[in-house]
Amino acid sequence: MLMERQSFENVWDALEDTPAQSANMTMRSNLLIAIEQRVRKIGRAHV
């Protein structure tokens, strides 16, 4: 049995049930990435 191949704009589109949930998780992911980058930048400034 062959499965149909699907493509998605991002991983949350594939995992979440609704576009609203996908958008929410995309926003949260982007926020966490931004926080991580900021923390790393601050950490380098203190070395």
What is the model's pLDDT at position 45?
A: 79
What is residue 47's predicted lDDT score, i.e. its pLDDT?
61
- Return the pLDDT at 11: 96
What is the pLDDT at residue 19? 97
Question: pLDDT under 70 in the chain at which residues?
Answer: 47
- Hey, how many other C-beta atoms are within 10 angstroms of the C-beta on 43? 9
Residues 3-42 as b/e (b if ≥16 CB within 10 A, e otherwise) read eeeeeeeeebbeeeeeeeebeebbeeeeeeeeeeeeeeee
Give residue limits of the domains in the chain. Answer: 11-46
List, for residues 22-35, the tens digit of each pLDDT value: 999 999 999 999 99
